[in-house]
Amino acid sequence: MPAPEQHLSVTVGDTAVSAVYARPGQPTATLVLAHGAGAGMEHPFMRGFTDALNDLGVATLRFNFPYREAGRKFPDRPPLAVATWRAAMAAAAAQAAAHGDKGPLWAAGKSFGGRMASMAVAEGMEAAGLVYLGYPLHPPGKPEKLRDEHLYGITAPMLFLQGTRDTFATPDILADVVSRIGPSAVLEWVEGGDHSFAVAGEKRSAEETGASLAGRVARFIASGG
């Protein structure tokens, strides 16, 4: 049976964004999930991932950034995106406290959402750990334009889940970045996966693709990173 969902409104400055909180019985942890640049929190990938995490005993809160809430296509600038992350984490912490949940609170994101989570943590947002579902290390075809400087100051555990065909992260460059971050960072590859984790020749829906990543994430959370 799917975990019951609660629809929330999260205040960010003078605006508000939608969020969905789902809590299985006696969750071991709570994970907050942000969407990528081109799709909102209701994308089948997002729902498949959070539903599967709920089945594995992890509570989830997924949310929209303000630009997506307003129907705009261009992502918010980092200051607003970071503020939204802080508000979403606070909302998840409040839900956990209201239910008496003592488990850790993790931050995760698909592409842009994960990068903004890392920036928020680098700027002081508290999180037990970070999960990147396709970290956008550089624009496609431009490996010289790395988005990595802030990562080296983060001490929380980090899981990088990345497709081997992801054009946003040249494999050897990403492996080097993760190595330089140190033992707190772990890189796991999805063989043949692109930036959306789709694998050529495999007929899986976006929902099934998202769900396929949940086991790795749940294990990383359970291990404490």
The pLDDT score that the predictor gives to residue 147 is 96
CA–CA separation, 5 vs 22, rounded Å? 4
What is the DSSP-derived secondary structure letter of residue 149?
Answer: G
The pLDDT score that the predictor gives to residue 225 is 77
Would you give per-residue pLDDT tens digits along the chain (225 residues)? 678 899 999 999 999 999 999 999 999 999 999 999 999 999 999 999 999 999 999 999 999 999 999 999 999 999 999 999 999 999 999 999 999 999 999 999 999 999 999 999 999 999 999 999 999 999 999 999 999 999 999 999 999 999 999 999 999 999 999 999 999 999 999 999 999 999 988 889 999 999 999 999 999 999 987
Residue 85 to residues 33, 58, 121, Cα–Cα distance (Å): 9, 19, 9
43-53 burial, b if ≥16 CB within 10 A, otherwise e?
A: bebbbbbbbbb
- The torsion of the CA quartet 159, 148, 177, 175, rounded to 10 degrees, works out to 60
Q: What is the value of pTM for the model shown? A: 0.96
The pLDDT score that the predictor gives to residue 36 is 96
Q: Are 108 and 31 in contact (CB under 8 A)?
A: yes
The pLDDT score that the predictor gives to residue 202 is 87
Q: What count of Cα atoms within 13 Å lies in the side-chain half-sphere of residue 187?
A: 19
